[in-house]
Chains A and B, each alone.
Chain A
């Protein structure tokens, strides 16, 4: 290994370490800044208490509930649609249409989130307001519908990759046994792509959880426990965006770091599980 190789290798390794430390550094900063709040009010009360700053309560439970409800509902709505589209692309649609659909869906992932939110505000909110005659139209339902639309293309692409990764040997075996394309899909391909589908679902779930703009623009932002989809609610992400303008030293302000930690923890956990699943299905270290 000559000087040039040693130097270059060192340079590349340094760059890699900088990137890796960003991952840890982000968590570190948030922990450091959240500590005073946690120290003064107590972890449990913050995580499980209600948000009523005027009364001195800085619990983020309503936000956690709103995030959970929004993400779960949007994901639940998107999953069957995504799987259906993936099945369409991989097996059911004629080859040329399937390729076009695939390309179109790839393009859809390039649409900015803020545009989804903007259209939601001016197109969907009035409709919801009229239809349900409740509140301003900005509620969890509106946010759910738009969020589901936004994460569907990404989930479809993950699912398509998973389905196409199933070895052709399995398809041929099923065909030879007399199964038609749909039966092959149902009984062999989808089960065979199971871990890829789960991984893709997890990643889309993380995406939905981490979304800020759609929740901020459409869900209403009331910091109350969400009792139904037609209620206004505030997600963890929206909370961060709203409270950032508050006074630096105040406990309200510090609550956003706790939100950040919760978000970081959940998305990292889903990323790790998804990573593990993909490692295992590609047969060990890549």
Chain B
């Protein structure tokens, strides 16, 4: 290839960098521009007095508080379900499986990671139909089902984070405790896990972010536009990402549109902060032990 060809390719690379940064910058800028003016207590609580609304004594009609709370509860339950199971599976993959089994399992989890979120939502929905028909007619799409489906969604993140963190540990660290007579579990508990903590925590934070932003799953499993603050795990609920979607399809007035932008800004901010936190923690070296140990 001649110099001209090479030079135009280089130009293209720089151009593509520019396009990407400009495109994403535009998106973020647009949200910040229109969302920032909306940020105040009224955004969250509408016309209800903040303290009483916070404690649930007064319903909030024109505010994001129920949606925010709904998202928080959803995330806590989903990650609470997924984290122990995902970490356990990650530990199993890294430490107790090898050869064919390990390959098969890693394939399974790669497939799981690739399943579109709407399909997982569909599964959650089917599950709720199943429960509705065969267990109790009071059961249906609800917070718990959504949390369950979200847990499945983020399971691969947790498994992979745990597995990668453990497998990255140096061989000398593994053999040290074992040569002193520690069995596999002691080695795992006292040496391996404490030293993989930042990778694992980073995975948990990513899972939190993923649950907070997901819309497709909750769309099919119980989220609604107005439900107030979540009273029970078996009820419908509101959530921030759904509110954003809902406003884009129909908004009653300029105030609601502004709330939509405010919501978008909040969600964007939360997700970016979580993401940055996860990246930071992953790159933290274990210098914490340097002084106390």
Q: B123 to chain A: which residues have CB within 8 Å?
A: 25-26, 29-30
Query: CB of A182 within 8 A of chain B?
Result: yes
Query: CB of A96 within 8 A of chain B?
Result: no
Interchain Cβ contacts under 8 Å between A and B, 5 examples: A20-B109, A110-B209, A115-B31, A153-B20, A271-B113
Complexed CA–CA distance, A212 and B119 (Å): 10
Q: A153 to chain B: which residues have CB within 8 Å?
A: 20, 24
Interface residues in chain A, defined as those with a beta carbon under 8 Å from any beta carbon in chain B: 1-2, 4-5, 8-9, 11-13, 15-16, 18-20, 22-23, 25-26, 29-30, 33, 80-85, 87-88, 92-93, 101, 103-119, 121-123, 149, 152-153, 156, 182-183, 186, 203, 206, 209-213, 216-217, 237, 240-241, 244, 248, 256-257, 260, 263-264, 267-268, 270-272, 274-275, 279, 285-286
Question: Which residue among B102, B114, B241 has the maximum number of chain A CB atoms within 10 Å of its CB?
Answer: B114
The residue from A116, A149, A270 contacting B114, defined by CB atoms under 8 A apart: A270
Whether A217 contacts B114 in the complex (CB less than 8 A), given A26-B123, A112-B267, A260-B122, comes out as: no
Q: A260 to chain B: which residues have CB within 8 Å?
A: 118-119, 122
Q: A286 to chain B: which residues have CB within 8 Å?
A: 102-103, 106, 167
Q: A279 to chain B: which residues have CB within 8 Å?
A: 103
Report, nearest first, the 5 A-B pairs whose CB atoms are least far apart.
Answer: A210-B116, A84-B16, A110-B275, A15-B88, A112-B213
Interface residues as binary, B178-220 with A (CB distance below 8 Å gives 1, 0 otherwise)? 0000011100000000000000000000000100110110011
Whether A267 contacts B114 in the complex (CB less than 8 A), given A5-B183, A29-B123, A112-B241, comes out as: yes
Complexed CA–CA distance, A264 and B114 (Å): 9
Q: Are A80 and B16 in contact (CB under 8 A)?
A: yes
Measured CB to CB, the nearest residue on chain B to A208 is B116
Q: Are A2 and B241 in contact (CB under 8 A)?
A: no
Q: Are B268 and A11 in contact (CB under 8 A)?
A: no
Q: Are B20 and A263 in contact (CB under 8 A)?
A: no
Q: Are B19 and A240 in contact (CB under 8 A)?
A: no
Q: Are B20 and A210 in contact (CB under 8 A)?
A: no
B residues 5-26 with Cβ under 8 Å of A?
6, 9-10, 12-17, 19-21, 23-24, 26
Q: How far is the CB of A18 from chain B (nearest CB, A)?
A: 6
Query: CB of B276 within 8 A of chain A?
Result: yes
Q: How far is the CB of B114 from chain A (nearest CB, A)?
A: 4
User: Chain B: how many interface residues by the 8 Å CB criterion?
Assistant: 90
Q: How far is the CB of A104 from chain B (nearest CB, A)?
A: 7
B residues 71-93 with Cβ under 8 Å of A?
84-86, 88-89, 91-93
Complexed CA–CA distance, A199 and B30 (Å): 33
Q: B105 to chain A: which residues have CB within 8 Å?
A: 16, 20
- Say whether chain B's binding surface is mostly helix, strand, loop, or mixed: helix
Question: Which residue among A19, A80, A101 has the maximum number of chain B CB atoms within 10 Å of its CB?
Answer: A19
Complexed CA–CA distance, A121 and B27 (Å): 11
Complexed CA–CA distance, A156 and B13 (Å): 12
Query: CB of B125 within 8 A of chain A?
Result: yes
Q: How far is the CB of A207 from chain B (nearest CB, A)?
A: 8
Q: How far is the CB of B78 from chain A (nearest CB, A)?
A: 14
Starting from the known contacts A30-B122, A30-B126, A111-B28, 20 additional A-B residue pairs (CB-CB under 8 Å) come to A2-B183, A5-B184, A15-B92, A19-B89, A19-B112, A19-B159, A26-B115, A33-B129, A82-B16, A101-B21, A107-B279, A108-B24, A115-B27, A118-B247, A123-B26, A149-B27, A182-B9, A267-B119, A271-B113, A272-B110
The residue from B1, B30, B34, B107 contacting A275, defined by CB atoms under 8 A apart: B107
Q: Are A4 and B185 in contact (CB under 8 A)?
A: yes
Query: CB of B271 within 8 A of chain A?
Result: yes
Complexed CA–CA distance, A22 and B247 (Å): 33
Q: Are A257 and B118 in contact (CB under 8 A)?
A: no
Q: Are A271 and B114 in contact (CB under 8 A)?
A: yes
Q: How far is the CB of A187 from chain B (nearest CB, A)?
A: 9
Query: CB of B244 within 8 A of chain A?
Result: yes
